[in-house]
Every structure is written in C-alpha cells, then in structure tokens.
Structure 1
Amino acid sequence: MAALEHWDAAGVWAFSSNTLKLLFPGDGRARLKALSAHQSAGLIVRVARGLYINPRARCLPDDLLAALVPFLRPWDLNYLSMESVLSEADWISQIPSRLTLMTTGRSQTFQTPYGTLEFVHTARQISDLRPYLNWDERRSIWAATPDCALRDLRRVGRNLDLVTDLSQEPYKHAYTK
C-alpha cells in the first residue's frame, strides 16, 4: 500500500508486470500471492495481460481508457479514428461502445474494466498520415481528422450505414507546411 501511495505521489498510476516485480520482491509464488491479495482487496486492478493500475491513485487521467493506449501499444503509432472520431464530429449519430484506433501494430481488441479498446492495423506510412492527424490534448493521443477517419472506415471495410452524410465537405488538414 505504501509503495502504491509513493508512486501515486510521483504521478505513476499504471504498472507493468516487470514493474510489479520491483514493488513485490521475492520469489514468483509469493509475488503472485501478494498480487492476488491486492487485486481481491481492490488495491490494484488488472486491465490487460501484464498491465495493472492503481484505481485509488489521485493522478488517474480523466480519460482512463484512452490513457491505456500507450501502455498497451508502446512501440506502435496509434491514433483515434473510424467510429470514435466520426461520432465526435457528428458524422455518425450514435456514440460508439468502444474507442476505435488505427495502429501500425497488429489488430486486437482489449476488454478492460474501463471499456473496450479496438486496434485495427493500418499499413499506411506515418509520413502519409501526418497531414491528417491532430494531437488531442484532452486525451494525450493522436486523432484522425474526420475525412481521414471516414477513409479508414472505408479502407477496412466497415459498415458505412451509420455515417449521416457521405458527401461531407473535406475537413481541413491538421498539418500545413
């Protein structure tokens, strides 16, 4: 408990399995037992394989689900796109039940206690994407412009029935030289 409070004061709220080895020293069996006891007591929450958070941390981000992205995919380019962006731009009338992201990594869906994250692979080059991405300050993550999100939706073969107007005016690019 003291270790979690210490790291919370330092702004750390998420822990990998390797980090937990430092917090819970000892042999593997004792560590697993301590980890299980802390989970049962609600002191830590497993959000995905090898990733835990301190649910009582005062430094938890406002948008916890989006904040998990860099922990789950630290080596890939990930950006909000498709239904998530189109809903926020009012190009889709419904609110998606998950955050949809494009990634240079493999496609995968994570069911977490805080919601669902869906990563969909893109083979597009970062240099090609740059003009169509904005930094979302609130979430601390890249987000596609609505026209890019619509292209991504088409590119991966998703249902376009929810898009309110396919003849939307192109959105201004995020990046200009």
Structure 2
Amino acid sequence: MNFALKVTTALHLAIKNGHFGIFTTRDIGLATEESVNDNFRKKLSKGVSKRWLLKVCRDIYALPGNEPTKRGVLEYIASRLHWDKFIYVSLESELSRQGIISQIPFGYLTVMTQGRSGKIETRYGTIEFTHTSRKNLSEEDVYYDPDTRIFRARAKRAIADLKRVGRNTDMINEEVVND
C-alpha cells in the first residue's frame, strides 16, 4: 500500500470512529504505525503539495473534504499545540463569549498558557497564546467546557488577565459584569 493511501485510509477510519478530524504529525505516525522522522515529515509535506492532505499549521493536518466543521476547532488546535501545558481561553475571546465586551473576534482565539507566548496562523483562524505564570487556579477562576473540550476563564479571571497583560479594558460592559 502506498503512503498516501495508507495515511488517508487510517485518517478516514479515525474520523469515522469519532476523531475530531485534526491530526498532529504524531497522530498520523501512530495511525500508520510509522516512525516520525525527517523522511516521514517530507512525505507529509509531499502529501500537502499533492493535495491529498491539508496543512492546518505547523505539525497539524486535516483531510480535504473531511475538514472539521464542529464548534471549537481553534480550541482543539490550541490544546493540541500546547498539549503539555495548562491552557485556558481568556481575554477578549472569553469576555466576548460571555457578553462582557461587545466586540466578537471571529476567527481569533485568545488563550492563556503556562507555555510560550506567540501567535499561530491556521487555516481556520489565528490563535494567540499569552504566557501566564499562574499555577494555583481554582474552580472560581476557570471551568471545563465539555462542548469544546477546553478550560475557560470565568469573567472575573478573564478581566484580571486582560488587566495583567495590559490590554484595553474600555470595552468592558460593567453592567453585565455586576449582574
């Protein structure tokens, strides 16, 4: 079986069995039982150029015609990119979702991470990771959202994060916060 057929068959089967549809290089290696090395990465790159594989961002892929349309695509990608760090949605993304600010950031996700800060451009939008050294977060600060499979800041925590990183707080609707 050639490499393209092996990969697409394995990934289609994974999606059929409930996988989200976004795959890391390691996921593909596990699904095809191949070692992830430079040669493997070159084959994936060739798959992108031949269009039987879509590059979402660095080391993240999807299948053409089988791209995820579910809610939480950016959240899923964020959690896969920082799989070894605690992350949670905060700042403008979470405040907008809770109706505390009126602006709605389409295709943009702001995430606090104990890992490295940075912006990642994906085919579905931009993920902005902002470093935090906070380690003692409680249920008063964050909660788990099972729909998007990620932790989210509660309003008070998101506002505190916004202030801590020096973002514009003028857009906060105080009436909504005090309810």
TM-score band w.r.t. shorter chain? 0.7 to 0.9
Aligned to 1:18: 26
2:12 corresponds to 1:5 = yes
Aligned to 2:66: 57
- The alignment partner of 2:177 has SS state of coil
Aligned to 2:56: 47
Q: Is the 8 A contact 2:95 2:155 kept in 1?
A: yes
2:125 corresponds to 1:115 = yes
1:75 Cα offset (Å)? 0.7
**Structure 1 runs of 4+ with >4 Å offset:** 24-31
Matched residues in 1 for 2:61 and 2:117: separation? 21
Aligned to 1:175: none
Q: CA RMSD in A?
A: 2.8
Matched residues in 2 for 1:111 and 1:28: separation? 23
AA matched with 1:88: R
Q: Is the 8 A contact 2:119 2:129 kept in 1?
A: yes
Among all aligned residue pairs of Structure 1 and Structure 2, give the percentage whose two residues are the same amino acid.
32
Q: Is the 8 A contact 1:14 1:53 kept in 2?
A: yes
TM-score (norm 2): 0.78
Unpaired runs of at least 5, structure 2: 1-7
Aligned residues: 168
Q: For residues 2 and 129 of structure 1, do their structure 2 counterparts lie closer, same or farther at Cα, with a shift above 3 Å needed?
A: same
2:102 to 93, 104, 112: 93
Counterparts of 1:120-135 in structure 2, within 5 Å, are 120-125=130-135, 127-135=136-144
2:112 corresponds to 1:67 = no
Q: Is the 8 A contact 2:75 2:148 kept in 1?
A: yes
